[in-house]
Structure 1
Amino acid sequence: MSPAELLAVLILAGAILLLIYYYINEPRQIDVVKSRVLGRREGEMTKKAYKIGDKIMSKVKEVPISTDTISKKIDAFLEEKSDELIKDWSLATKDDISKLEKRLNAVFRNIDELEHRFNEYREHTNRKFKSIEERIKRLEESVFKK
């Protein structure tokens, strides 16, 4: 490519860029371009957006904000399904816990009773052991004295 051809291409590219710049900066042209691209004018779009926003807000206002209704529904569901939930999840009921507490109390009483009996047995055994030791000492003394 010769220097003259290169200069011609650069001038042509500069002219195209200049035309695009003026086309974009013309305010009337922007509105025309927007209306062509969007199919509507800005005012119409904002009105439509407000209408859609109002519809959404009215739907949101219809939804109850209070958690009381949700809590009541959850409570009702749990009441209906409580037996199934207890069986499925192997949960303990208050009756089960009270039965286990009674059994635990009985075990504690039995342990206390066994401990008391063991202490009595130990005392009795220690007394017997002492008496046997004393008898052995007496026998040893009598045997060794002779």
Structure 2
Amino acid sequence: MQIWVDADACPVTVKQILFKASRRTGMAVTLVANQPLQVPRLPQVQAIQVPGGFDVADNEIVRRVAAGDLVVTADIPLAAEVMDKGAHALNPRGEMYSADDIAARLTVRDFMDTLRASGIHGGGPSALGERERQAFANALDRWLARATR
């Protein structure tokens, strides 16, 4: 098992939490992005740079992910795809995606895309606060506890 990170838009504080957890547990963490990334010098932490382009990093994660792995992403379509392969998906705000809610999340996402395309601007999500960072760390710890049993 390992952790995959959709790293292009992943907040720095979330990456730091992941690196700390990897250092503590030895869990492999792979960041996938279309830009160069700095990662700590730990044998279990690596970065994969993919070419630029629409969904190139997402497609690489889907290609490599295995059942039981964890994918950290705010990208709902990516979360749905990796869950179809038996992996788990966690967003940077500490919400674990589930089979029960992924279809509804995709519908809301598509609706918001339609609104934005029609000129109605809803803005993006708020900045990650301490509550969200703590929620992410707690959800990650719960997943790690189950994964390392």
TM-score, L = length of structure 1 = 0.17
Relative to total residues, which structure has the larger helix share, 1 or 2? Answer: 1
Larger Rg: 1
Higher relative contact order (CA 8 A, sep 6+): 2
Provide the TM-score with structure 2 as the length reference.
0.17
